[in-house]
Amino acid sequence: MLTAKLSISINVMASGLFLSYAPVIAQTPLPATDVYVSTIAATVEKAVSESRTDTPIRTVDAGGHNVGIGVVQRAAGNTLGGALHNRVTEVYSILEGTGILVTGGTLVDPIIRGDAASQVTQINGPGVSGSGITGGVSRVLRKGDMVIAPAGTPHWWSSVEESVIYTVVRVDPDQLVTLR
């Protein structure tokens, strides 16, 4: 009797597991998006020639959240201000240069970005800008280094010794940034 109940329980659990995976198998996968080194290099060249700080390359729907890839450059000596993005996480991969990135702490002179600002709709979603950061953790980043700045984490280049150029991957769970 106990063996029969266990057998029924196992069969019901196995059926439940199979059914829970069935929708995943039946879904049509999203296409992959390629961003080639030639596109990144051309974007860097154009951004440098136009003195653009942050240039999006692609932003795609990755199945319930958007993921964007862009190029950012910080000229030697140019620290600009700090920022935090309310809902967008950023992943940096340093292509060239050396600088000190500060994360955490508190933004100095915080200003909330307007919802209609192009930086909000085209680049990294709603957030706050500031003139710098007090506190936080400083680290030297150079070619080949990577860092993840979670949503809500203040970040700021406090020193740029050699112009820093990096790719940035932005994860936008609320799909606030325009697809491109």
Q: CA-CA distances (angstroms) from residue 21 to 13, 17, 18, 26, 133?
A: 13, 6, 5, 9, 46
User: Please, are residues 92 and 180 in contact by the beta-carbon 8 Å criterion?
Assistant: no
Q: Is a pLDDT exceeding 70 seen at residue 161?
A: yes
- What residues does each domain of the chain span? 33-172
Rounded to an integer, the average pLDDT of 127-151 is: 97
> What was the pLDDT predicted at 25?
60
**pLDDT tens, position by position, 94-118:** 999 999 999 999 999 999 988 777 7
Highest average pLDDT, of 3-7, 89-93, 120-124, comes from 89-93
Which CATH code of 3.90.550.10, 1.10.150.20, 2.60.120.10, 1.20.1250.20 fits the domain covering 33-172?
2.60.120.10
pTM beyond 0.85, yes or no:
no
Collect all residues with Cβ–Cβ distance below 8 Å to 55 and sequence separation of at least 6: 43, 46, 47, 70, 71, 72
> What was the pLDDT predicted at 24?
54
Rounded distance between C-alpha atoms, residue 49 and residue 46, angstroms: 5
**pLDDT tens, position by position, 14-62:** 445 444 454 556 678 999 999 999 999 999 999 999 999 999 999 999 9
